[in-house]
Every structure is written in structure tokens, then in C-alpha cells.
């Protein structure tokens, strides 16, 4: 029975659905901007972790180093794009 029924995956699936529902709270209730963003940020991070470690088995591969290098590169590009855009288009825009 244990081998036929993948308990961790079912729990993982249920919790990723749950996380999506929690994220919905932000539009259903009247929250402050900071509160809403905090909820979205935290649920997104947990969700990403769940996908990477539970479903995609990043840490169980023999090529762990390559995979983490790739994730690091992705984080680098993602953060540069987001904060670079904010820097160029808002914070540093037309300040003389």
C-alpha cells in the first residue's frame, strides 16, 4: 500500500493547492498593500521550494552542483531584471 500511494506527493499537491488559495486572500479581503505583498511573497517562495525539492527532486540528483548553479544564475537574472527595471524606470528616473 505504501509503495502504491505516494504520501509525500499527495501532501505536496494538497499543500500547493492550499498555498494558491491563501494567495487568493489578497484580492478577496481588504488588506493593506504591504500586508498583501507579504502574503504573496511568502506563499510564492514556499510554493517554489515545494516544486523544486518535492516534485523536481533538485537535491537528490548526482549533478546537484550544476542544478544549484543554474538556480543561482536564474536568481541573478531574475533579481537583476526586477530591481534593475525598478532602478531604471522609477527610482532613478529623471532625478536630475
Using CA atoms, how far apart are residues 94 and 46, in angstroms rounded to an integer?
37
- Cα(4)–Cα(94) distance, rounded to whole angstroms? 62
Q: Quote the distance between the C-alpha of residue 1 and its chain's center.
A: 33
Residue 95 in the binding site for another protein (CB under 8 A): yes
Number of residues that bind another protein (CB under 8 A): 19
The window from 15-23, 29-37, 42-50, 71-79 that contacts another protein (CB under 8 A) reads 71-79
Task: Return residues touching another protein (CB under 8 A).
Answer: 63, 66, 70, 73-74, 76-77, 80-81, 84-85, 87-89, 92-96
Amino acid at each position: 500500500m505504501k509503495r502504491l500511494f505516494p504520501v509525500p506527493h499527495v501532501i505536496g499537491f494538497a499543500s500547493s493547492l492550499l498555498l494558491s488559495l491563501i494567495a487568493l486572500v489578497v484580492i478577496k479581503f481588504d488588506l493593506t498593500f504591504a500586508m498583501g505583498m507579504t502574503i504573496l511573497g511568502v506563499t510564492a517562495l514556499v510554493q517554489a521550494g515545494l516544486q523544486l525539492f518535492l516534485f523536481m527532486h533538485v537535491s537528490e540528483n548526482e549533478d546537484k552542483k550544476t542544478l544549484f548553479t543554474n538556480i543561482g544564475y536564474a536568481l541573478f537574472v531574475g533579481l537583476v531584471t526586477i530591481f534593475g527595471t525598478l532602478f531604471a524606470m522609477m527610482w532613478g528616473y529623471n532625478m536630475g
